Amino acid sequence: MESNAELTPEEERLVIRDIAISSQSNTKEGDLFYLITQRWWQHWLDYVNQDLTSMANDGSSSYADYHELAGSSTMRRPSGIDNSDLMYDADSDDYSMRMELHDTLVEGRDYILLPQEVWNQLYLWYGGGPTLVRKVINSGLSQTELAVEVYLLRLQLLLMPKGERAYVRISKKETVKALHKKACEIFEFNLDQVCIWDYYGHRKHALMNDLDKTLDDANLQMDQDILVEILGDTCLSSVQENGSAEKESTSILVERCKSAAGGSSSAKAGVSRNGSSELGQIVGSPVGEAENNYGASGVSTRGSTGGLTGLINLGNTCFMNSAIQCLVHTPEFARYFREDYKPEINWQNPLGMVGELAIAFGELLRKLWAPGRTPINPRPFKAKLARFAPQFSGYNQHDSQELLAFLLDGLHEDLNRVKHKPYLKSRDADGRPDEEVANEYWANYIARNDSIIVDVCQGQYKSTLVCPVCGKVSVTFDPFMWLSLPLQSTNTRTMTVTVFTSDGSALPTPCTVFVPKHGRCRDLVQAISSACSLKNDERLLLAEVRGNLISRFLEDPLIQLSTIKDDDHLAVYKIPKLVKNTVYLQLVHRREEKESSSGLGWKSYGTPFVSPLSRDDPITRGDVQAIVHTMLSPMLRAENLEPSDLNSTMSGEGSHASHDGCSSEKIADSTASDSAIKEHGRSKIVKESFLPLQLMDENDILVDLTTGEEKAIKLSSSTTSVLVFINWSQILLEKYDTQSLENLPEVLKFGPPTKKSRNEPISLYTCLEAFLREEPLVPEDMWYCPQCKEQRQASKKLDLWRLPEVLVIHLKRFSYNRSMKHKLETYVNFPIHDFDLTNYVAHKNSSKRQLYELYALSNHYGGMGSGHYTAHIKLVDDNRWYNFDDNHVSTINEEDVKSAAAYVLFYRRVKTEDVSVSNGAQSSVGQNHMLLEKQ
């Protein structure tokens, strides 16, 4: 093999780029493409791009430019190509098993398709494998639509009457003649010794004697059974000459299936063989349909279970296919639309689609649940959808949740049982019991909205608005069709503050908390109080620090946190709660620094201390000295304490080191050690020395506080703060360690997130709690306060009140603003079983548990505008999970259902003795039933 050792990474990139440009411009049917694992491809891209600082985006190559630059760090040259992770049991000695692709591969996430010329060059350089080649086919119905057939048709060949079976992979564009020939090769027969039959829908059967028809035109399905019959002397001729012999021949086949014996022969290359003597494993389980009159056993095909039919992608319609599969596999909808639902169509509803959307959806659902596995073309449904929702016309990518929202609302209006909607107005709560108000709202809603969609999907939540000015409380109970839960990073904000004590109990300590992004100062104070274990007799004073001085106290609890920038500096002071007529003593630190013109001068540095004073109490210069000594006592160096003091504080020395976070444990540790200094050292210091303090009086004159200990200090009635300066001389700095006063951290320090924060999942319960957390309305959504008679930015609190049979949860992964669109790839750890919402329901007059189980979800892979949608569905009847990727349907393990691609989750209520089984939709027009129903 020729080596490319003489080529630089840049030269390799240019060679592949040129080959890609020339090969991609004239792709035609029959061309070959090769699969290569995304992991290896990304490694190669990083390697060849490592020396680039920028890349010209001329739009000519979709291969070398597939990813962004990896950076300038040196990358090692990739080893040989390794496609083993694309296949099942890649290390098996059986060649046929090594060539079987995983059923759930996604292009762009798991593999890349390379033109033959690109693959040949890479293989020449690197070697490796296995080689996975696929052809370009025309998948269009009425016009040419070229596509690479990654997943070949998988068929099970059943040899009768021997009972052998084999699996074969073959293109759906191959002919019946090619399949016939392959079957003969596998079972080692001549072409004239066997004939082949196809079975689909477990009612129809046909002799495959049109040898020039493609397997696609013959409607062969993935995993369909093909019976390979060993011919007698007259079987084939009689069937060909007389069509009426078809039923007789089928009966013969059934009898042969009954008496089939086991056996197997050697496997051919590229075919998976599995010998079996069990009749049930060969022909499946009995069907029991009236039309099948072929004996007691009947004949069924493997894969005839209803609901395992895919949807053809019409061009960027994976979003629609994913949403539809979730809805049609909702058991309540599947039963409803497979029965006679047309009497419930509301032909006069001006808000609906005159029944056409419901009929189109019902017909599509019936096709998807019909026996057989032939993928359905949803073009008629899409045409009807586009007629009533022009935003979904054309073939652009859309959001599956937006389609679900429109579809559920449209089906509800088309199937609304209320033909004449009464006008009803719900009254305000006005202090009435929540249960009474909630039932009144629900009854009024059901009087106008009553459909299968309401029966199954609609719940009710309690909405509480509080006016920030007059305190007016407004309570309403509103219906919901789904819950749109924010991911934590979109709804919360990380803020770092430094906590100071006024009683000398601890060193200044940084504290980082999570707060609502659109919250207020009271939310920040509450979070810090919880993190730092605030005592009952303490309160927090929040201040903004600029230029080593306090620029403002943030005492108004309604100040919006959005006014605090990420590069601001915040200090929080623990102060006594019971001080009345308060004035704040601010201790400002100064030290000598050289000035350009006048030599040394005193300049402020560090962060001020704050202690509350009462104007009602007399205060002397000595009192100020004592207060300052107390605040500074945690910073006193250990060598300046007497031996008895040192022994009492030795165990806490380590707590004086800088802290990088705040928690109740850290504050407690610091308090335990530093309080010793306060108790044993402060009184001695006060008696022995005076600190160099200066007070700025009401005339802005500095007053020396080192003399006249008994002199009273006059506090102005108009000022809110008293400034006291401490001049830190070099001698004084030898006694105190002021390092903790410096380098006050920013509210949010910019930089890449840690590995832990990037990978740590968040719980679905956490997302739900963020959704239910009280927060202010955004400025664009002001509330008209009926008491103030003005628009107010009220605080809003949501609570779940009445839960539906099917709970749809939308994870808000996509965010938009004027300049960019962004997708959050956050992994949400959602429960599959026992999703317990009991404690999240505000209606507490019931002891019944609210348990839900996941049965479907819509996934989104990739980024904004270029992603791909799939659906994971659990078929309740056979208790198995399946992956629906457009027309391709395959099994999936339950542990693989969870991923960072989860976008819309579908939960069903668990039916147990202590769980309510109705949301009251069908009978809630009657108040008696609603009052008995307790959720």
What pLDDT sits at residue 85?
A: 83
Band (866; pLDDT cuts 50, 70, 90): low
DSSP characters over 549-564: EEEEE---TT-BGGGS
Between 331 and 562, the higher pLDDT residue: 331
501-527 tens-digit pLDDT = 888 888 888 888 888 777 888 889 888
- Give CA separation, 662 vs 103, 705, 740, in Å: 48, 35, 14
Spatial CB neighbours of 568, under 8 Å, sequence gap ≥ 6: 544, 746, 747
Q: Is the pLDDT of residue 664 over 80?
A: no
Q: Is the pLDDT of residue 807 over 90?
A: yes
What pLDDT sits at residue 243?
A: 37
**How crowded is residue 446: how many other Cβ atoms within 10 Å of its Cβ?**
23
Mean pLDDT of 480-497: 81
CA 873, 875, 881, 883 torsion-angle sign? negative
What pLDDT sits at residue 754?
A: 41
What pLDDT sits at residue 282?
A: 22
What pLDDT sits at residue 280?
A: 24
The region of weakest confidence among 52-56, 170-174, 404-408, 627-631 is 52-56
Nearest by Cα to 490 from 903, 812, 135: 812
In 794-935, which residue ranges form alpha helices assigned H by DSSP? 927-932
Nearest by Cα to 539 from 553, 521, 526: 526
Q: Is the pLDDT of residue 321 over 90?
A: yes
179-204 tens-digit pLDDT = 888 888 888 888 888 888 865 444 44
271-273 and 32-37 strand pairing: unpaired
Q: Is the pLDDT of residue 307 over 60?
A: yes
List the structure tokens of 372.
């057989």
Phi, psi for residue 523 in degrees, rounded to 5: -65, -40
CA-CA distance, 756 to 178, in Å (whole number)?
Answer: 55
CA-CA distance, 480 to 397, in Å (whole number)?
Answer: 26
CA 358, 359, 363, 366 torsion-angle sign? positive
Between 813 and 684, the higher pLDDT residue: 813
Mean pLDDT of 895-906: 92
DSSP characters over 361-376: HHHHHHHHHSSS-PPB
Among 333-347, 480-494, 839-853, 904-918, the range with the most confident prediction by mean pLDDT is: 333-347
Q: Which residues of 778-801 are buried (b: 16+ CB within 10 A; e: fewer)?
A: eeeeebebeeeeeebbbbbebbbb
Spatial CB neighbours of 273, under 8 Å, sequence gap ≥ 6: 96, 164, 165, 166, 167, 186, 264, 265, 266, 267
Band (140; pLDDT cuts 50, 70, 90): low
Band (110; pLDDT cuts 50, 70, 90): confident
Among candidate residues 318, 532, 767, 785, the one labeled active-site is 318
Spatial CB neighbours of 516, under 8 Å, sequence gap ≥ 6: 491, 492, 493, 523, 561, 773, 775
Q: Known catalytic residue: 318? A: yes
**How crowded is residue 58: how many other Cβ atoms within 10 Å of its Cβ?**
8
Mean pLDDT of 921-927: 32
List the structure tokens of 460.
């009710």
Fold for domain 9-51+78-90+98-149? DUSP-like (3.30.2230)
- Give CA separation, 548 vs 521, 567, 630, 846, in Å: 22, 15, 21, 56
Mean pLDDT across the chain, nearest whole number?
75
Phi, psi for residue 91 in degrees, rounded to 5: -95, 5
Total-model pTM = 0.47
**Residue spans per domain, the chain:** 9-51+78-90+98-149, 153-230, 762-909
Band (144; pLDDT cuts 50, 70, 90): low
Between 932 and 54, the higher pLDDT residue: 54
What pLDDT sits at residue 917?
A: 37
CA-CA distance, 830 to 898, in Å (whole number)?
Answer: 7
List the structure tokens of 37.
């694992």
What pLDDT sits at residue 894?
A: 92
In 476-585, which residue ranges form alpha helices assigned H by DSSP? 488-491, 521-531
- Give CA separation, 375 vs 359, 415, 885, in Å: 20, 28, 11
CA 406, 407, 409, 415 torsion-angle sign? positive
**How crowded is residue 86: how many other Cβ atoms within 10 Å of its Cβ?**
20
Q: Is the pLDDT of residue 707 over 60?
A: yes
Residue pointed to by tokens 């201790």? 587
- Give CA separation, 698 vs 233, 245, 693, 715, 723, in Å: 122, 116, 16, 8, 10
In this chain, the answer to whether the domains covering 153-230 and 762-909 adopt an identical fold is: no
List the structure tokens of 451.
């459909």
CA-CA distance, 547 to 723, in Å (whole number)?
Answer: 15
Among candidate residues 180, 656, 868, 872, the one labeled active-site is 868
The region of weakest confidence among 43-57, 481-495, 800-814 is 43-57
What pLDDT sits at residue 25?
A: 61
Q: Is the pLDDT of residue 666 over 80?
A: no
What pLDDT sits at residue 320?
A: 94
408 near 457, Cβ under 8 Å? yes
Among 8-12, 517-521, 667-671, the range with the most confident prediction by mean pLDDT is: 8-12
* Distance linking the first and last C-alpha atoms of the chain: 72
577-596 tens-digit pLDDT = 877 788 888 899 988 876 65
Spatial CB neighbours of 327, under 8 Å, sequence gap ≥ 6: 333, 361, 365, 404, 407, 408
Band (336; pLDDT cuts 50, 70, 90): very high
What pLDDT sits at residue 809?
A: 96
CA-CA distance, 16 to 117, in Å (whole number)?
Answer: 9
Instruction: Give percent helix, percent strand, percent coil of the chain, each to the nearest 5.
Output: 30, 25, 45
What pLDDT sits at residue 565?
A: 84
Angle separating helix axes 356-369 and 400-414, nearest 10 degrees = 110
Cα dihedral: 799, 801, 803, 808 (round 10): -20
- 3-state SS, residue 909: strand
Q: Is the pLDDT of residue 845 over 50?
A: yes
Fold for domain 153-230? Ubiquitin-like (UB roll) (3.10.20)
CA-CA distance, 796 to 783, in Å (whole number)?
Answer: 10
Between 454 and 232, the higher pLDDT residue: 454
Band (905; pLDDT cuts 50, 70, 90): very high
What pLDDT sits at residue 99?
A: 60
Cα dihedral: 427, 430, 433, 435 (round 10): 30
20 near 122, Cβ under 8 Å? no
Mean pLDDT of 144-168: 79
CA-CA distance, 528 to 662, in Å (whole number)?
Answer: 9
Among 106-120, 483-497, 617-631, 682-696, the range with the most confident prediction by mean pLDDT is: 617-631
> What class, spelled out in words, does domain 762-909 have in CATH?
alpha beta
Q: Known catalytic residue: 843? A: no
List the structure tokens of 85.
């992770």
Q: Is the pLDDT of residue 479 over 90?
A: yes
Between 278 and 140, the higher pLDDT residue: 140
CA-CA distance, 863 to 872, in Å (whole number)?
Answer: 19
Between 9 and 146, the higher pLDDT residue: 9
Mean pLDDT of 157-161: 80
Q: What angle do CA 471, 472, 475 make, to 5 degrees?
A: 130
Question: Which residue(s) pair with 836 in the sheet?
Answer: 851
Band (665; pLDDT cuts 50, 70, 90): very low
Band (913; pLDDT cuts 50, 70, 90): low
CA-CA distance, 544 to 550, in Å (whole number)?
Answer: 6
